[in-house]
């Protein structure tokens, strides 16, 4: 194993993204979590998860805005609220309610306990989890930010965890793999996970999102400016 999981040291920094953190914990990204380029992120996502650049390049570009360096970012800076980091996350608290950077088991219990009676998560359960997490934020967070931008980010993130931990073509992912990914930020290789053989890109993610989004019964809390994120 040339990319062993090693827990971050006291000086290593990590992000609110379980995907980037897992890549850093396995050494696909610099283990320090510091001074990371877009090229390093795109290469690591492909090597570690078989995720194509087209699925994450916008997020990676936005990530540069989290700091002052022209071409690099630090993982901890990605917790900057409302840049990419948003409310109603699956595994982190809302910014106004506490710690929006580190894994939180209480928050994660909604996803962990979803799809009862079977041993997998799917697009339907992911949509229901998004609904439950947003309902909780709207009820308890008077400062909640919930526009189309956040909805699209959250739906992309759900389709990503189902794809990298399961079958990118069906969106079915073993619960054990998803839970290890979020809780330990580790690739569950010892438990039987293998890197997806299907390239995960916007053409595989979009069909999953087209199920997740209506199931989530999303309603905006605020309007946002029209989103322009590419040509």
Among 14, 16, 185, 218, binds ligand HEM (CB under 6 A): 16
H or E element, residue 36:
strand 36-37
* Candidate segments 51-59, 99-107, 180-188, 193-201, binder of Mg ion by CB under 5 A: 99-107
Choose between 156 and 168: whose C-beta lies nearer to Mg ion: 156
- Tokens for 137, please give them: 């934020």
The 10 Å CB-count burial string (b at 16+, else e) for 205-215 is beebbebbbeb
Interaction mask 97-126, ligand HEM, x per CB under 6 A: ------------------------------
- Tokens for 13, please give them: 């920094």
Choose between 91 and 141: whose C-beta lies nearer to ligand HEM: 91
Q: Residues with Cβ < 8 Å from 20, sequence gap 6 or more?
A: 14, 29, 41, 75, 78
What whole-number distance in Å separates Cα of residue 7 and Cα of residue 199? 28
Q: Angle at the Cα of 199 (from 197 to 201), degrees rounded to 5?
A: 155
Among 89, 130, 137, 146, binds ligand HEM (CB under 6 A): 89
* Candidate segments 79-87, 124-132, 164-172, 192-200, binder of Mg ion by CB under 5 A: 79-87
Among 45, 126, 134, 144, binds ligand HEM (CB under 6 A): 45
**In 3-state terms, what secondary structure has residue 156?**
helix
Residue 41 binds ligand HEM, judged by CB under 6 A? yes
Shortest Cβ distance from residue 133 to ligand HEM (Å)? 8
CA nearest neighbour of 137 among 113, 163, 107, 109: 107
Choose between 54 and 99: whose C-beta lies nearer to Mg ion: 99
The dihedral through the CA atoms of 213, 148, 19, 17 has a sign that is: negative
Residue 89 binds Mg ion, judged by CB under 5 A? yes
* Positions that interact with Mg ion (CB under 5 A): 85, 89, 92, 100
* Positions that interact with ligand HEM (CB under 6 A): 15-20, 41, 45, 49, 51, 56, 59-60, 63, 78, 84-86, 89-92, 157, 160-161, 164
């Amino acid at each position: 194993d040339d990319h062993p999981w090693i827990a971050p040291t006291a000086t290593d920094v990590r992000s609110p993204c379980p995907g980037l953190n897992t890549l850093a914990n396995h050494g696909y990204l610099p283990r320090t979590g510091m001074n990371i380029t877009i090229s390093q992120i795109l290469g690591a996502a492909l090597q570690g998860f078989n995720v194509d650049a087209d699925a994450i390049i916008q997020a990676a570009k936005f990530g540069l805005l989290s700091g002052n360096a022209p071409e690099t970012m630090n993982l901890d800076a990605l917790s900057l609220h409302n840049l990419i980091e948003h409310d109603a996350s699956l595994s982190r608290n809302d910014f106004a309610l506490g710690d929006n950077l580190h894994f939180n088991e209480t928050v994660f219990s909604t996803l962990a306990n979803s799809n009862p009676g079977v041993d997998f998560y799917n697009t339907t359960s992911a949509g229901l989890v998004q609904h439950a997490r947003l309902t909780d934020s709207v009820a308890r967070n008077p400062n909640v930010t919930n526009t189309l931008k956040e909805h699209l980010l959250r739906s992309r993130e759900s389709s990503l965890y189902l794809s990298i931990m399961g079958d990118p073509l069906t969106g079915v992912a073993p619960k054990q793999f998803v839970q290890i990914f979020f809780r330990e930020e580790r690739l569950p290789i010892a438990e039987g996970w293998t890197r997806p053989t299907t390239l995960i890109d916007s053409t595989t993610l979009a069909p999953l999102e087209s199920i997740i989004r209506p199931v989530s019964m999303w309603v905006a809390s605020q309007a946002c400016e029209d989103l322009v994120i590419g040509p």
